């Protein structure tokens, strides 16, 4: 059904672009994660503007390869909504247009999401501007909390409370489990597990991404939390081998007490799982505090495109109050701090927590992010599985530290 809507939306867009032949048309791409909001904002833009945008939705796992091959063949799109963590790698490869002047000329430049601008900057030049945003948060099932005798309106605020609440919920028995995470998914855990470390005061990479710092007390505390819950049987058996397929679906099934997730889940639960009563809170540190992974997409421009003016017009629209509100209503948090409150004021209040998490969020910076973190066979993915379920935490940490540092030192080879 969702796919049908996307198809229909794309078809409408195509026919609309065909009509407006007099004006200029710029091609843009977005990864499939953006299919919730991108067709809508493109459609709204095309309706109200003479210049047009033609949108293609590309499967998440294929967008980098597809972009690289089309760039080599001279058929790359004019612009691209790119997972922000890839911006440094793309800029380093010389694929992107330097848009420093444009970015700095925006009156609200200082108000744009700092995580996006940080990853959009390579060697002091700006190659990407914030487009969509997603932050990691902790969500809990209020119905199960009530059944377990917990206060359904109060989410956990530190590690001990997470473990205690999860244990009470799991005690309900049957198919019901206390806690869920995708134990074989590097991307999921950089999004939801590292904030536990950040909130406790640690980090996994140095600020410039040149040093891996995995073996820290904060890391070990967060590991102890997860291991403890696994040992007590509070986590479903399937978590061990979940490479991300159940990242959202497990909680949506209604049998999970607590799970770390993202702002996107608010939109998805509200539209597709209306019967789940859930709360949203910050991902806490060991003794309180909070942090979040500030994720989402940067808008980047292909080097040498002749359609820069159209793209500017489109981005101006996306940054307007109208555009920011539209994006927020489809599950993408506002990226302009100065109008975030206004854009969110008529929406589900739980978005406010996600927006606040976004503003305080953190984003690791690395030109080899895909290699060290996201790859299903990278050191991060291997380490999290070993430290959560294996027998040798020390060995796993040491091994991951060494492999990760090796990849960072080898760099992109350019």
Partner 1 sequence: MSSISAKAGAMPAAPARRRSKIDRGHWVGLLYIAPAIVLVMVFFVIPLGMTAWMSLHNWPLMGQHRFIGLDNYVAITKDVRFWNALKFTGYYTVIVTIAIFAVAFPLALFVEKPRPMMGVYRTAFFMPVVVGFASASLLWAWLLNVDSGLFSPAAQELGLTEKRFNLIATFNPAFWSIIVMVVWKVAGFTMVILMTGLQSIPTELQEAAKIDGANAWQRFRSITFPLMRRTVALALILSVAGSILAFDQFYILLRGGPRNSTITAVYWIFNQSFVSFKLGYGAALSMVLLVILVVLSLIQLRLLRNPEGT
Residue 19, H or E segment: helix 2-19
Q: Which residues bind partner 1 (CB under 8 A)?
A: 64-65, 67-69, 71-72, 89-90, 92-95, 184, 236-238, 240-241, 243, 368, 370-371, 375-378, 382, 385-386, 389-390, 412-414
Q: What is the DSSP string of 144-189?
A: HHHHTTS-TT----SHHHHHHHHHHHHTT-TT-EEE---TT-HHHH
Closest C-alpha to 115, from 369, 368, 291, 295: 295
Question: Which residue's CB is nearer to partner 1, number 143 or number 240?
Answer: 240
**258 closest CA partner among 157, 387, 374, 360:** 157
Q: Tell me whether residue 179 or residue 198 sits nearer to partner 1 (CB atom).
A: 179
Per the CB < 8 A criterion, the answer to whether 299 and 131 are in contact is yes
Closer residue to partner 1, CB minimum distance, 218 or 385? 385
Beta-carbon contacts of 31 under 8 Å, excluding residues fewer than 6 positions away, are 57, 58, 59, 60, 63, 81, 82, 83, 297
Residue 89 beta carbon to partner 1: minimum distance, rounded to whole angstroms? 8
Beta carbon of residue 246, minimum distance to partner 1 (angstroms, whole number): 8
Nearest distance from residue 314's CB to partner 1, in Å?
24
**Where do we find the tokens 């700092």?**
114
Q: Where are the alpha helices (DSSP H) in 232-276?
A: 249-252, 263-272
State the nearest-atom distance from the C-beta of 253 to partner 1, in Å: 10
Q: What are phi and psi of 262, to 5 degrees?
A: -135, 170
3-state secondary structure of 76: coil
Question: How far apart are CB 239 and partner 1 at their closest, in Å?
Answer: 9
Would you say 386 and 227 are in contact if contact means Cβ atoms under 8 Å apart? no
Nearest approach in angstroms of CB 396 to partner 1 is 9
Nearer to partner 1, 67 or 251 (CB): 67
Q: Which is nearer to partner 1, 323 or 364 (CB)?
A: 364
Count other Cβ atoms within 10 Å, centred on residue 265.
Answer: 26
Three-class DSSP category at 246 = coil
Contact assessment for residue 168 and residue 124, using Cβ atoms and an 8 Å cutoff: no
Nearer to partner 1, 288 or 390 (CB): 390
Nearer to partner 1, 63 or 357 (CB): 63
By beta-carbon proximity to partner 1, the closer residue of 292 and 385 is: 385
Cα–Cα distance for residue pair 189/193, rounded to 1 Å: 5
Minimum distance between the CB of residue 97 and partner 1, rounded to whole angstroms? 14
Measured from the CB of residue 294, what is the shortest distance to partner 1 in angstroms?
Answer: 24
Residue (26 or 230) nearer to partner 1, CB: 230
> Minimum CB separation from partner 1 for residue 380, in Å?
11
Contact 291, 283 (CB under 8 A): yes
* Alpha carbon 157 to chain centroid, angstroms: 22
3-class DSSP assignment, residue 198: helix
The minimum distance between CB 157 and partner 1, in angstroms, equals 30
Nearer to partner 1, 97 or 313 (CB): 97
Name which of 193, 157, 163 is nearest 179 in CA terms. 163
């Amino acid at each position: 059904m969702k796919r049908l809507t996307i198809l229909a939306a794309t078809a409408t867009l195509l026919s609309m672009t065909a009509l407006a032949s007099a004006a200029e048309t710029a091609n843009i791409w977005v990864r499939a994660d953006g299919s919730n909001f991108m067709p809508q904002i493109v459609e709204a833009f095309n309706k109200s503007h003479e210049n047009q945008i033609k949108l293609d939705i590309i499967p998440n796992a294929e967008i980098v390869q597809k972009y690289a091959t089309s760039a080599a063949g001279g058929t790359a799109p004019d612009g691209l909504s790119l997972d922000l963590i890839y911006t440094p790698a793309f800029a380093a490869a010389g694929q992107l247009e330097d848009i420093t002047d444009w970015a700095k000329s925006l009156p609200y430049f200082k108000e744009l999401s700092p995580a996006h601008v940080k990853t959009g900057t390579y060697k002091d030049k700006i190659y990407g501007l914030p487009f969509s945003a997603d932050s990691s948060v902790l969500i809990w099932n209020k119905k199960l909390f009530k059944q377990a005798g917990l206060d359904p309106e109060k989410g956990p605020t530190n590690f001990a409370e997470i473990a205690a609440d999860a244990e009470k919920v799991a005690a309900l028995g049957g198919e019901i489990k206390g806690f869920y995470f995708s134990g074989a998914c590097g991307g999921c855990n950089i999004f939801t597990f590292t904030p536990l470390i950040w909130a406790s005061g640690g980090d996994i990479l140095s600020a410039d991404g040149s040093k891996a710092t995995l073996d820290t007390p904060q890391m070990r505390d967060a590991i102890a939390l997860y291991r403890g819950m696994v040992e007590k049987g509070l986590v479903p058996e399937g978590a061990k081998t979940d490479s991300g397929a159940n990242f959202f679906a497990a909680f949506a099934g209604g049998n999970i007490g607590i799970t770390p997730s993202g702002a996107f889940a608010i939109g998805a639960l509200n539209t597709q799982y209306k019967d789940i009563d859930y709360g949203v809170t910050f991902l806490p540190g060991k003794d309180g505090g909070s942090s979040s992974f500030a994720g989402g997409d940067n808008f980047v421009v292909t080097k040498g495109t002749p359609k820069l003016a159209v793209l500017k017009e489109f981005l101006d629209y996306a940054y307007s109050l109208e555009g920011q509100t539209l994006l927020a209503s489809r599950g993408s948090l506002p990226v302009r701090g100065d109008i975030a409150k206004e854009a969110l004021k008529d929406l589900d209040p739980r978005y406010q927590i996600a927006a606040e998490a976004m503003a305080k969020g953190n984003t690791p910076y690395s030109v080899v992010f895909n290699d060290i973190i996201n790859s299903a066979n990278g050191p991060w993915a291997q380490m999290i599985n070993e430290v959560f379920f294996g027998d040798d935490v020390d060995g796993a940490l040491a091994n991951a530290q060494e492999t990760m540092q090796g990849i960072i030192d080898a760099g992109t080879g350019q």
